[in-house]
Amino acid sequence: MNNRTRSIFKDLFEADLRLLANPICEHCDARIKNPLLPWIVGNKFIDSPERILFVGKPHRGKLGDTLLSGIMDPTDEISDLWNKSWPYWSYTREIVENLYGINACEYIAFTNVVKCTNVGAGAGKSKSVDLTTKQMAHNCIEDLGVIWKEIECLKPFTLVFYTYNFFKDMLQRIPFALEGTIKEIKAKNHVVQCRNKKLGWWERICATPWTSNMRILVVGHPERMGKKEYIELLTNWLRLNP
């Protein structure tokens, strides 16, 4: 993420949304209150024909630099994280390398659906298990609409939410969709086979102020999914011409 893009999102978090300084954040039950800026906004994202934005579940613990406002900037962590073997990173990396080849991360954007976290806030399960509360999700997604504001800033053509089992009802409303344009391609309860497991696969399209055909996929998280099959499913879907 270059300095100009970082500045845009820093202003969005700190000035426009007043994250941590507004009453909703003040009364939120998140344990680690350090909203995370987008992981990646590639320098070639805006020029790519697909403009793919991946949206993950809440991050783990504290990452990168914590600014005076409490916002976290993960820029210095990305080169290491992008090469991790964890499914969240490695599956995404292989999917986009199938599309763009070397330096694939320059062509995509990657962020989180909820900006603060409970993962890594204490001992035991909280070090790795997602303990995001419904209040956290409601505050961030519905009341503050942070992810929707990020999307409006980025203007993607393709959205992939790795959040099928994560309060997906909160993604039902798409604030920037033009009236009457949301169409269900695959129902909210639809699943596909991924090796020996069922993978949630909710697919929609809509028109927005910046594209007449935004493709939206809410899919199960890569964790514990067959690597070859998961990567093939996502790669094939992203290659489809809308």
DSSP letter assigned to residue 3: H
Query: Residues 207-217: what's their mean pLDDT?
Result: 98
The closest alpha carbon to 112, from 46, 63, 47, belongs to 63
Taken in order 168, 90, 230, 213, the sign of the CA dihedral is: positive
Would you state the pLDDT for residue 59? 87
Give first-to-last CA distance, the chain, whole Å: 27
Give pTM, 2 decimals: 0.95
CATH number of 3-239: 3.40.470
Give the whole-angstrom CA distance, residue 42 versus residue 87.
20
pLDDT at res. 127: 54
pLDDT at 241 over 90: no
Q: What is the mean predicted confidence (pLDDT) over 40-47?
A: 97
Assess contact for 37 and 74: CB atoms under 8 A: yes
DSSP secondary-structure letter at 36?
B
DSSP type of residue 138:
I
Mean of all residue pLDDT scores within the chain: 93
- Nearest 5°: the CA angle 159, 21, 156 is 15
pLDDT above 70: residue 12? yes
Amino acid 1: pLDDT? 87
pLDDT tens sequence across 223-240: 999 999 999 999 999 998
- pLDDT tens per residue, range 95-136: 999 999 999 999 999 999 999 998 765 544 445 567 899 999
Contact 58, 64 (CB under 8 A): no
